[in-house]
């Protein structure tokens, strides 16, 4: 009886030990199959690793063309103080080209000074037809000119512009005013005007301003003239210079097959005695 009880006790102990070992293996298997934790993020509030936003950069600029500028209220100070009707209008073209001025330095452009097709006032207007990729109608002051146009007197260049039978998009034609620190008239390859801190030998010095920045907010309709006034004090990217010696209109044949210019003048302050 005592031997049977002893065997029974040993057998129960073995069974309990086996049961405990099985439970431990089952718990260990469950732990191995658990889903691993996600990698930690910069902050626990992010579900995914945050992406760094790229730092904004300046838009690239064509090195061959200076940026244009929107007209400012700077020129308005002179107009308000003096009154635009007090400015003297010096004619460059009205029926004929002034003897003080020339168009011989225009570039890749056919020019008719006595066009009757589309006229703003009078009998004639200038017709300009760009021939290739770039066409420039260039008004330059002759060395024999009777007048000298100091920059501090010249307030604006004014003209009337039309595309004749075609409209002119206000982004496809630019205007520039040029000057000199040495000569009171236009001289080819004049290098007297510099922009501080920039090498300008192979770069344009004077800004080329689109019509859209000169108050022409939409395309000029066909068979219509628009008044264009370039206030020099509003050309913020232009350098300082002493004399106004010329100005030009620039476009290309594909954008503007032909354009007409009439009643061209400079608006200047009256001379003080």
> What confidence tens digit (pLDDT) does each residue in 88-100 have?
999 999 999 999 9
pLDDT string in tens for the chain (273-residue length): 444 544 555 455 554 554 444 444 444 444 444 444 333 333 332 233 333 333 333 233 233 333 333 444 544 555 555 566 789 999 999 999 999 999 999 999 999 999 999 999 999 999 999 998 899 999 999 999 999 999 999 999 999 999 999 999 999 999 999 999 999 999 999 999 988 776 656 678 999 999 999 999 999 999 999 999 999 999 999 999 999 999 999 999 999 999 999 999 999 999 876
114-132: pLDDT as tens digits? 999 999 999 999 999 999 8
Cβ within 8 Å of residue 193, ≥6 positions away: 179, 180, 181, 205, 206, 239, 240, 241
Q: Is 178 left (phi over 0), alpha (psi -120 to 50) or beta?
A: beta
How does pLDDT run across 2-21, given as a tens digit for each residue? 445 445 554 555 545 544 44
Residue 96 Rama label (left phi>0; alpha psi -120 to 50; beta): beta
The total of other beta-carbon atoms located within 10 Å of residue 165's CB is 11
Contact 128, 261 (CB under 8 A): yes
3-state DSSP assignment of residue 247: strand
Superfamily of domain 74-268: Galactose-binding lectin (2.60.120.430)
The β-bridge partners of 266 are 90, 157
């Amino acid at each position: 009886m005592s031997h049977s009880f002893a065997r029974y006790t040993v057998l129960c102990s073995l069974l309990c030990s086996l049961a405990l070992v099985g439970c431990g293996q089952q718990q260990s298997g469950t732990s191995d199959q658990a889903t691993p934790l996600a990698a930690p993020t910069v902050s626990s509030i992010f579900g995914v690793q945050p992406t760094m936003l790229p730092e904004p950069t300046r838009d690239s600029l064509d090195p061959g063309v200076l940026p244009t500028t929107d007209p400012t209220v700077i020129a308005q100070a002179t107009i308000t103080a003096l009154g635009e009707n007090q400015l003297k209008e010096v004619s460059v073209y009205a029926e004929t080209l002034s003897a003080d001025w020339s168009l011989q330095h225009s570039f890749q452009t056919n020019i008719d000074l006595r066009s009757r097709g589309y006229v703003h006032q009078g009998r004639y207007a200038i017709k300009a037809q760009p021939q290739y990729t770039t066409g420039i109608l260039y008004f330059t002051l002759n060395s024999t000119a009777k007048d000298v146009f100091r920059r501090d007197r010249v307030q604006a260049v004014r003209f009337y512009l039309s595309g004749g039978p075609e409209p002119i998009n206000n982004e496809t034609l630019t205007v520039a005013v040029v000057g000199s620190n040495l000569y009171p008239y236009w001289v080819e390859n004049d290098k007297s005007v510099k922009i501080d801190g920039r090498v300008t030998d192979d770069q344009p010095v004077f800004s080329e301003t689109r019509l859209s920045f000169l108050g022409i907010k939409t395309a000029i309709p066909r068979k219509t003239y628009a008044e264009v006034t370039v206030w020099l004090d509003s050309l913020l990217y232009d350098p300082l210079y002493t004399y106004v010696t010329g100005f030009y209109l620039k476009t290309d044949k594909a954008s503007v097959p032909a354009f007409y210019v009439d009643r061209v003048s400079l608006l200047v302050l009256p001379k003080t005695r």
